[in-house]
Structures are given as C-alpha cells and as structure tokens.
Amino acid sequence: MSVSATLPRAGFDRPVLAASVAALAGVAAILVHDGALRSLALLGIAAALGAVFLTTGFGFTGAFRSWLTRGDGSGLVAGIAVAMVCAVVVIPVAALVPGYSGFEAPIGLPLIGGAMLFGVGMQWGNGCGSGTLYTAGGGSRRMWVVLPFFCVGGLLGSLMLPTAFALPALPEVVLPRLLGPWAGLAATLALAGLLVRFVLSRGPRPDTDRLRAACAIGVLAVMAFLVSGQPWGVTTGLTLWGAKAASALGFGVGATEYWSWDGPKQALTGSLLAQDSSLMDIGMILGATIAAARSGTFRAQAWPPVRGLVGAALGGLAMGIGARLSFGCNIGAMVGGIASGSLHGFVWFFAMLPGCWLGIRLRPLFGLGN
C-alpha cells in the first residue's frame, strides 16, 4: 500500500506543488547554465525515483520488520529484486566498459558493526536512507527530524572512518573479478536467488505490485548508473550536507583526515550540485514533494509526540554513523554491493539483522508499534 493511499485526499496542494516544481526547475536551470547536462539527467532520474517511492510506498524498514516479526518476506524480496535488476547491467558494464565501476568494500568490523547500528537506527527513525528522503519530501514531520540528524551522524561517522579502516578486515571479494563478468553475474544472481529462498522460507511470496515497483526502481537505478558511471548511493550526499553545515558554522571539518582525502575534499569545497549523491538526494526529495502535493497529502500529516521525535533524532544519528562505517545503507551497501557482485552486500544484509531485531524490541519506547 502506498503512503498516499493511507492519508486523506485533499486534491492538489497547489502552493506546495508550485513551490516544489519551481525548486526543481531552479536546480535544473542552474545545471543547464553550467552546461552540466549529465547532472541534469541525474536530477530527472532522482525526481522520478522520489515520485515512484512515494506513490508505491516502497521501503526497507517495514519490510525488515514484517519479516522479523511476522515472517512476511514479500517486501524484502522486492528489495533484493531491485539489486538483481541492477546486477544484470552493472556487473558486465563495470567489468567491460572503461569509466564504469561497481561498489566494493572490505568485510570487517566497521562493515558489520556499522550495519548493525544502521539497523537499530532504521527501526527507531522508522525509515532508512532512501525512506528518509522520500518521506521527508512527502511531508513526514518525523522525517524532518530524522534527516538533519542523519546528516550529523554521517559527519560523525566520517570522522571515525579513518580509525575504523585500521581495524582488521578481509579484502574485497568481488565475484566478477574472480570469475569474469558473465560467470560473476551468474554467481551473483544465484546467491541472490538463494537469499530470496531464505527470506521466503518464513512466509508468503511477494505480491505483484511490490515486484512491479521494484522493477521500476531497478530500471531507474540502472539509468542512474549508466549516466553517473557508478551505482546509485544515498548516504554520501547526506554526509556531505552535514559537513557543509558544520563548515558553515565554523568547525574545521576540512582539516580532519577523511575530509582531506581527494574525493571528500573536492566534494566539500565544491557545490552541493556537483556531487552525484548530493544532487540525487535533492532530486529525490523534490520528486517526492511534487508527488505528495499532487495527491494532496503533503500537509495532511501530524507531528509525532515528543518521545517519537527523540526516537527520530537518535535513529537519524545511528543511521548516519552506521551508514558511513558500513559503506552505505540499504541502497548503497546492500543493493549497490549485490548489484556489483561484491560479497560485502550480502554480508551487510545479515549483519544488519541483529540491529533491526534490537531496534524493533525498543520501538515502543518511542511510541512506535510493530
């Protein structure tokens, strides 16, 4: 069921619709002025992603909770399906076409601990990385609290990351690199199929609507990959937002080790529109706002109680730190990792489960049901 279907319909919210369309057009105009046609394409894809996520209610937080508490794996299978759709394109293109790459990460304590922490925060905040973006864009007052704390958590995680890199870890295990692109793709899809079978062993099969939404999201994610040269990621942009805000407040973020590395340093000194993840996060929020305004649901939402806001803040912080230490969220680490044929994507899935379980048990403290 979509988010918009659960809220009262009030028709077009014309002021919000006009403002969000104007904002999206303004960003597009800046990109056109700068001649950044590649970035313009990414903005459009991200806006479409935001609209699709919002209108279908696609997400990972409730999917993990439904599976762990009721054995219903239909939502999780849809999430794995997104990775499988992406893998069909990402693995051979990244292996055979210059300028393209997948997401790879070592398997060690930062990945495992960060994924567990992300799972806790996801259940407290009641949304994941992509879920935070599209529901915040859709008018969720809870996510208006989660989002800035997610950015702060991402910044804190970036400060911890150089120390975390010094901890023991296995090197990257990338199936296309070990087996070649086509055998690596076959092995990746086989492992994803086994993961689907494992998930479905506890409950009902996925419904057609969720699989349709997964295919649509997968196709859009593939388009983003073909335009950008790497899989779609969410949390790097949010980390950058936190660092930019801290720098504007006078904190010496640029002098820290992580933000002295070439990529982060360039992102910190450049425009928010110049970094792909940041640009797509902006586009996703605006696309979701446009969709919510069209359905009349943007202003039909209430603020949660105080303890719900506390859970939102703590959940955002935990997700931000966890995502940075574990190289992403459900999108970047799990979907992007699996789609790249990197075993860290599968490990991330299983490492997050204990965190989700703990987060679910503590949700009532923040006024959240299960």
Q: What is the pLDDT of residue 8?
A: 41
Distance CA 73, CA 89 (A): 25
Pair 288, 48: CB distance under 8 Å: no
117 inside domain: yes
197 inside domain: yes
Pair 313, 145: CB distance under 8 Å: yes
Total domains in the chain come to 1
Q: What is the pLDDT of residues 179-206, one digit of tens each?
A: 999 999 999 999 999 999 999 987 667 6
34 inside domain: no
229 inside domain: yes
38 inside domain: no
Q: What is the pLDDT of residue 202?
A: 75
354 inside domain: yes
Q: What is the pLDDT of residue 7?
A: 40
328 inside domain: yes
Distance CA 143, CA 127 (A): 8
Please identify every stretch of the chain with a pLDDT value under 70, giving residue numbers as ranges.
Answer: 1-11, 203-204, 206
Pair 57, 3: CB distance under 8 Å: yes
* Residues whose CB is less than 8 angstroms from the CB of residue 36 and which lie 6 or more positions away in sequence, other chains included: 273, 274
Residue 22: count other Cβ atoms within 10 Å of its Cβ: 11
Pair 46, 287: CB distance under 8 Å: yes
Residue 226, domain extent: 59-128+141-272+302-366
CA geometry: angle 343, 344, 348, nearest 5 deg: 125
Q: What is the pLDDT of residues 90-146, one digit of tens each?
A: 999 999 999 999 999 999 999 999 999 999 999 999 999 999 999 999 999 999 999
Distance CA 183, CA 311 (A): 45
* Token pair of 326 as six digits: 């574990």
Q: What is the pLDDT of residue 208?
A: 84
Q: What is the pLDDT of residue 5?
A: 39
β-bridge partners, 169: 108
**Could you give the count of Cα atoms lying within 13 Å of 133 in the half-sphere of its Cβ?**
34
Query: Given phi > 0 = left and psi -120 to 50 = alpha, else beta, which region is 310?
Result: alpha
Name the amino acid, one letter, at 66: S
Q: What is the pLDDT of residue 296?
A: 87
157 inside domain: yes
Q: What is the pLDDT of residue 244?
A: 98
Q: What is the pLDDT of residue 369?
A: 87
Residue 100: count other Cβ atoms within 10 Å of its Cβ: 18
Distance CA 326, CA 265 (A): 20
Pair 79, 214: CB distance under 8 Å: yes
Distance CA 257, CA 211 (A): 42
